[in-house]
Amino acid sequence: PVSRAQEVPELGGAMIEQVTLSEQALHAFVSSDTLEIIAHDLTEYFAATNEGRWDDLMHYFPMHKKQGDTTFVKSSKEALDHWTERGVKNRTAAAEIVYASPAFTDGDQNVVLLNMQLSHFVEFYPHYDGPRPDGMKGMVESNYGKGNAVYKEAPLAPGDSLPLRYWEVSGLNRIWAVSHVDSAHWCFLPPNFNESGAASMMGANAMVEALRHRRANDPTAER
């Protein structure tokens, strides 16, 4: 069994209850109904990750939904189990959408680029025996935004020889929402998906149009 530093408030296990829409700074260019559905599906996506429900998580991966690729599902679940057993956990505590692009048509799917305020943790439990967590800044920022991640260590818990180590992510983070043109179900791709073997999941034109729209219409975007 793995003990946990329960006395550290930010590591008490807070998990996302609902992806929210910013009341003060929302810039949305899709209908409110569509955005509500996207926020609901994104909540389920984060919750499945938090709770280690890999079958449910696969329901929100476009590669599986688009291709029905059972080999991809099997290998993905095996990889997720492998890293969980080794002591790595991703946990999203909160997400607030501040920007949503129009839905761009990309073949048989629609693509919406989202930007959100994200509170997320990449945690390394005491039994983790892989590469040094404090050397993973580049990898963490590739997934969650440059300058958003701070490495921390919790106080040593009774019975542990190593502390709970973690990256705390707090700041703006992009994510791609993808849906078949005949479906109201949305799947999600990380901002760097085209660097990790999933470039075929979206055409270049839709990606460029969405990024261009965000630069022009999202006040938080880098100009």
Confidence (pLDDT) at 212: 96
Q: What is the pLDDT along the chain (223 residues), one digit of tens a residue?
A: 333 333 333 444 678 889 999 999 999 999 999 999 999 999 999 999 999 999 999 999 875 555 556 777 888 899 999 999 999 999 999 999 999 999 999 999 999 999 999 999 999 998 898 899 999 999 899 888 888 999 999 887 777 777 889 999 999 999 999 999 999 999 999 887 766 656 678 888 999 999 999 999 999 887 4
- Asked if 152 and 166 count as a contact pair (C-beta separation under 8 A), the reply is yes
Residue for token digits 């945690």?
Answer: 123
Confidence (pLDDT) at 48: 94
Residues 64, 177, 211, 191: is their CA dihedral positive or negative?
negative
- Asked if 114 and 121 count as a contact pair (C-beta separation under 8 A), the reply is no
- Asked if 116 and 95 count as a contact pair (C-beta separation under 8 A), the reply is yes
**Residue 64 in tokens:** 């599986």
Confidence (pLDDT) at 164: 87
What is the model's pTM? 0.87
C-beta neighbour count of 131 within 10 angstroms: 10
Q: What residues contact 80, with CB distance under 8 A and at least 6 apart?
A: 52, 54, 57
Confidence (pLDDT) at 198: 62
**Residue 129 in tokens:** 């025996």
Q: With 0-12 CB in 10 A as exposed, 13-18 as middle and 19+ as buried, what is 155?
A: exposed
Residue for token digits 């969650």?
Answer: 144
Q: What are phi and psi of 30, to 5 degrees?
A: -120, 165
